[in-house]
Each structure stands twice: as C-alpha cells, then as structure tokens.
Amino acid sequence: MDLDQQVSQSFQHAKEAYAEWDVDITQALDTLSSVPISINCWQGDDVRGFEELADISDGGLQVTGGYPGRARTPDELRADAEKAFSLIPGNHRFNLHAMYGEFPEGPVPRNEIAPGHFSGWIDWAKYQQIGLDFNPTFFADEMLKDGLTLSHPDSAVREYWIEHGRACRRIGEAMGEALGTPCVVNVWIPDGSKDLPYDRRGPRERLNQSLDKVFADRIDDTVMKDAVESKLFGIGVESFTAGSHEFYLGYALKNDTLLCLDSGHFHPTEQVGDKIPAILTFLDELLLHISRPVRWDSDHIVIMDDMLHLIAQSIIRGNYLSRVNIGLDFFDATVNRVAAWVIGTRAVQKALLMALLEPHEHLENLEQHGNKTERLALFETLKSLPFGAVWDYFCLQQDVPPRMAWMDEIREYERSVLSQRQ
C-alpha cells in the first residue's frame, strides 16, 4: 500500500472517530484552507536584508548558526520562499522588512525608500497570487542613536525615523493596491535602556508624538492596515522598553490601529492566547507574530507546543479568524532555512486544525451546565483522537506531501540549489 492509500484509509477511520462527537471534518478543512499565514522573509537570510547594513545586533537582534545555503539576493530569497510555499498546504502571504528592498544604484537612506524599491517583490507576489505584508526597519542603521529611534531626545533623529515610518506606509499602500489585499504595516522599535533610567515619561511622550506623525496621513484600510508591536525587553534594553505592551495597547485603543502580539515579547509565564479574547473585547482587529521563546525572546522555529495550542484555541473558540492576522516571526541559522519555514507554518496550521476539530457545541453545552468533570474528561479525550490522519489528508487534498515526505524535496533542493551557494 503506497503512502496516498495509507493516508486515505487512515482518514476514513478518523472520520468515524470524530463523527461520534458530531465534528464536521469537511467544514474544518474548508475553513483551514482559507486561512492565510504571513510567512516571515527574514528566516531565509538570517535577517540581513539587501542594504549595506551595520550589525543587526545593534538593535537587540541576534542570529546564531552558519548552516549552508543562506539566500544572498532577492532572487535567491524568492526562489527559497517558492520552494517553501510548494510544501505548505493552502495559499499564504509573505512578510517583508524595509531592508529587503532592491537598490541597484546603491544604498538608499531609510527615510527615502519608495514603492519602486519593492516593485520586484510586488511583481513576484502577483505571479505567486499572494499578498504581502511590511515592516519598517528601525535597526541596523547609522541613525540608530544610543539605541533609540522614535523616542530619541534629538528631534533630527526622530524626524529621520518618522519619515522612514511614513515612507513604509506608502510602500504598504502601494502593495495593497497592486495586489488587491490589504498590506499590514507593523511598527516595532528597539528603543530602551540597558540600565535603570531616571526618566520613563519623556521617552514615551516623544514616542507617542512621533507615532502620531507617522500615522498622520489616513490610508484606506482596504489597502493598508497599521499595527504597533510591543516588547518586554531586548538585548541592550533589559531595564526599560519605551514601546511596552501597556503603551501600545493604549495607543492602539486611542488611535484605532491594530495591536501586534508577538508571542516572544512577554514574560515566560504570560499566555498570549489568553490575551487574544481580552484585547478583542475592545479592539476590532489584531496582528499576531507567532514565535517560540526559549527562556527569553529567542525567536525559535514555531512548533506544536502548549502556547501555540492556546493561541489557536482562542482564535477558533472565539470565532476570531476574520479579526486576527496571523504572521510568523522566527530565525534560525542552525538548520535548513527553507525547512524551518515549512515546519513553522505547518505547525501553526496543525494547531488551528486541532482547534477546528473540537466538538464546539458539546463543549459549550457542558460548560453552560457547569459540568466541569465531563468537560475536563473530554478535553483529555480529544488529545488522543486521530487528528494526524486528518492533517495528512488535508495535505493530499492541497497537493503537498504529507507526513515527512516533504523532506525528500528539501534534501533535493539542498543538494541542487542551496549547497551551490558559497
């Protein structure tokens, strides 16, 4: 019996198992196939981009490892992304940083970048029939002064970065108009202090004023959506972070932007999944950057862990799919970078599928009637239902390899393409 036959046979048994709980597998798979995940470009090249940049660790970022095959050009990065897309079920998006523009005439100051520097990406996305998302790059630049950007005391420094933010919004607008799907433009800055500051008010007031200038021009949210992203701390800003969660939550509520929750940007005991329904009680929409922190914000490749399960359950149980923009944020140079994209994206899809396969009406009924014992027993029973057989069938349905079969294509791509890069 070949693999396709094994998968189909296992799927029939899975249908019977889930039917006992009145779970509509067909509907679950239809829903999953419609969920786009914004895949992070920076996994493919170790967050280097295509400018002549300073060390990216100047801004709180570090990439470890030296696995062969890093993408060195836009064309190589696009080719690697296409290979990853071919091994991931569904139709997804690609998330770019400003430093990934194409600058054939030489470096361009960040405050002067324009849509034309991303025309190659827009043309590629049209051909791939995918959407693009975008991020200003507030790090690895000579105008990052004292580790500060939008909150810097010097107005000239702030104005440079304000103009960069405004330029990035225009780029996002051009992407959304060209591709017919709104581009989410997400603002994250590294501003903070390594040791204890005296003034915690001034930087936040300056940041608030700078953001107001960045977002001053109203752009139709059918082509571009603004998001702001918080962080607990970073390398070199361990004692104070200007753009904290509380700051950006307040800013998003007051100014009607999306709030970005990065699952690596909180204390290890905090659960991002629990924050989703709390915040969406007041905000219309969220952006997620799903990462895997190991002890701190280390941006490990996403896997099927408890944190991811809770995120997926919160989205599905709350009926929030139309209000949550799902993106990835990790970088690991110790493994095959294309495989990392596939592992991380498929992990998020698997978690969503598990949540979609829950017997929602039955669980809700148990909870409404206060039957906590049976609710807990059912939670545990669901963990052993044949979810994997449904996932494998979904992969076949979407014409991508199930189980570990996709690794055959990764090995061949590494042999024929990645290993040739010196």
Catalytic machinery residues? 188, 229, 231, 262, 265, 289, 297, 299, 329
Q: Are 29 and 415 in contact (CB under 8 A)?
A: no
Contacts of 172 (CB under 8 A, 6+ apart): 133, 134, 183, 184, 185, 219, 224
Cα 405 to Cα 272: distance, rounded to the nearest angstrom: 32
Q: Are 314 and 276 in contact (CB under 8 A)?
A: yes
How crowded is residue 401: how many other Cβ atoms within 10 Å of its Cβ? 19
For 326, phi and psi rounded to 5 degrees?
Answer: -100, 120
Q: Which helix (H) or strand (E) holds 300?
A: strand 296-300
Tell me which long-range contacts 80-85 makes (C-beta under 8 A, separation of at least 24). Answer: 80/44, 80/337, 80/338, 80/341, 80/418, 81/39, 81/41, 81/44, 81/341, 82/128, 83/338, 83/409, 83/410, 83/413, 83/417, 84/39, 84/338, 84/341, 84/342, 84/345, 85/39, 85/128, 85/130
Look at residues 265, 258, 227, 263 and name the one whose alpha carbon lies nearest to residue 244. Answer: 265
CA dihedral sign of residues 272, 277, 281, 285: positive
Cα 414 to Cα 412: distance, rounded to the nearest angstrom: 5
Cα 155 to Cα 190: distance, rounded to the nearest angstrom: 17
